[in-house]
Amino acid sequence: MAGDRKRVPSVLPGLRTLSGYRREWLAKDVVAGVVLTTLLVPQGMAYAELAGLPAITGLYTSVLCLLAYAVFGPSRILVLGPDSSLGPMIAATVLPLIVAGGDSGRAVALASMLALMVGAITFLAGVAKLGFIADLISKPTMIGYMNGLALTILIGQLPKLLGFKTDADGLVGEVGALVQGLADGKAVPAAVAVGGAGIVLILVLQRLLPKVPAVLVMVLLAIAAASLLDLGRHGVGLVGELPRGFPPLTVPGIRWSDVGPLFVGALGIALVSLADTISNASAFATRTGQEVRGNEEMIAIGTANMAAGLFQGFPVSTSGSRTAVAERAGARTQLTGVVGAGLIVLMLVLLPGLFRNLPQPALAAVVVTASLSLADLSGTVRLWHQRKAEFFLSIAAFLGVALLGVLPGIAVAVGLSILNVFRRAWWPYNTVLGRVPGLEGFHDVRSYPEAEHLPGLVIHRFDGPLFFANAKAFRNEVTRLTRGESPPVWVLIAAEPVTDVDTTAADELEELDEELNERGVSLVFAELKDPVRRKIERYELTRTIDPGHFFPTIEAAVAAFRERTGADWTASEPTPPDATADRAPTDATAADAAAADAAAADPPPEDAAAGHSPRGE
């Protein structure tokens, strides 16, 4: 069996799993597939309508993505399908390209081409091993983005839940249209009852009886109520009979003018889909002892999207909730998804009228409860308590989605994440180190104000690479440390955190060294990494910086200084008022100064005994 597995092409992870399939898994996979189908059908229909598409397209999409992932997917139990987080992005991309009044056929064609584009982008990214792209959205900005998305979905579904429609765009417009509709008495009491009861039932069952398929129970009760009470005659919209059979392979026809807007939307959808997929794959791989293969996941997601796009489907992603259902039901392999896809096809061929009397407010209830699961209010509160800067990043991403829209919101989220990385590199933490009696090594004087120093020596640590954006800040900080009534003889740079020096920074170092030399101060380096040292030599900085001023350790540099000067350790002198603040290119912010004060007030960290200086930001 092992030999057979080796002969299976590596591009087909699903077939690798099949080659090692165990007979005892079959019953569990079949049962899990049946259970999973009860969730796939109502959610697929609901998320299709969330994307502004006919409900039937959600079932087409579910079938094709499940089959494609079963062949190409590396995860044994990860479940793909229509997703609540992608629905608004699909609608925001497709609906503006459709003329007023709506053309469902054109909408389906545009959504299918969008799936093909998302699939191609994701597939090529996987082949090129660009899995790191999924990390472009940091967790705080993703929390803010998802909170904004949850609010957008909730507000957008409320009119449907209440039994009427609005034509407004954007969150503010939708809120206004909702209020106006309620003021005009457009709400349908029967629809309100069905939708409200559906939400309550799903939330209660999920909380009290998590193993019960809450969505299925709600859908069945809603269909029964619609049939018994004839809700269609009371103003409640019904899904109606679904088209019989399965669509043929179709290449969607679109206009050339549609390509640009669709491609922009596809980039955002691909990014969110990848981030969601890697996150879910990592979570379930940890629980099942599997290894996460990010690039294979990207190829599989790309293939699944392209398969859906060729059969009137729309973009898909992984689903944590559906994967959890499959796992709880005993799923062992992707055969679970194949069983689910087969049952959906059988339903479309043999029982297309099964959901004829399903109320539209019930589908809205499915989407609303899904939107509530997207929101992470506790995570937002945790950010506020743990790190204010990342809390405000999260709020900015939230406002980007809420005020600008879903697609601009993802651009805001990515932009904020990248800017935050740049900000940290631009203004890295820097401090002065001293010797703490009883502790090995050299430590941050902000955390240890009692630290001793050597007269004539300043040990400065700069926690980041030196490059064009922060080189001036580094030079200004070193220059500041040499000013005063008793300027140091040496400024020793504890350079272990300095991972790079670019040409701009090299020029600044050369000018700084010349400036310090004129004042009788030497610039000295310790613990400089070999690759960085080689760059400094390539930049020919040793023409100005004495080659003898590079030491392998701080201890060696301190010993050399004491040997040359005879200096002895003494209690630290009072630090200048602005010396303990994190510095921007010139001045410290009040927030950073407060953080420095808090750090100084904290007890010494546990790792101090190991000789490592506490990090701060």
Q: Check pLDDT > 90 for residue 193.
A: yes
pTM of the model: 0.72
Give the pLDDT band (50/70/90) at residue 275: confident
pLDDT in tens, 74-122: 888 888 999 888 989 999 899 888 865 567 889 999 999 999 999 999 9
Look at the alpha carbons of 245, 246, 250, 256 in this order and tell me if their dihedral is positive or negative. positive
What is the structure's pLDDT at 263?
Answer: 95
Q: Contact, 412 vs 137, CB < 8 A?
A: no
What is the structure's pLDDT at 594?
Answer: 34
Among 41-55, 287-301, 354-368, 536-550, the minimum mean pLDDT is found in 287-301
Q: How far apart, in Å, are the Cα atoms of 536 and each of 5, 501, 543, 555, 597?
A: 51, 8, 10, 22, 35
Average pLDDT over residues 435-458: 90
Phi-psi region at 438: left, alpha or beta (left = phi > 0; alpha = psi -120 to 50) = left
Average pLDDT over residues 537-555: 88
Q: Check pLDDT > 90 for residue 418.
A: no
Range 250-271 burial, b when 16+ CB lie within 10 A, else e? eebebeeebeebbbebbbbbbb
What is the structure's pLDDT at 283?
Answer: 66
Q: Check pLDDT > 90 for residue 344.
A: yes
Q: Check pLDDT > 80 for residue 607.
A: no
Pairwise CA distance, residues 396 & 399, whole Å: 5
The maximal CA–CA distance of the chain, rounded, in angstroms, is 98
Q: To the nearest whole number, what is the mean pLDDT of the chain?
A: 83
What is the structure's pLDDT at 286?
Answer: 59
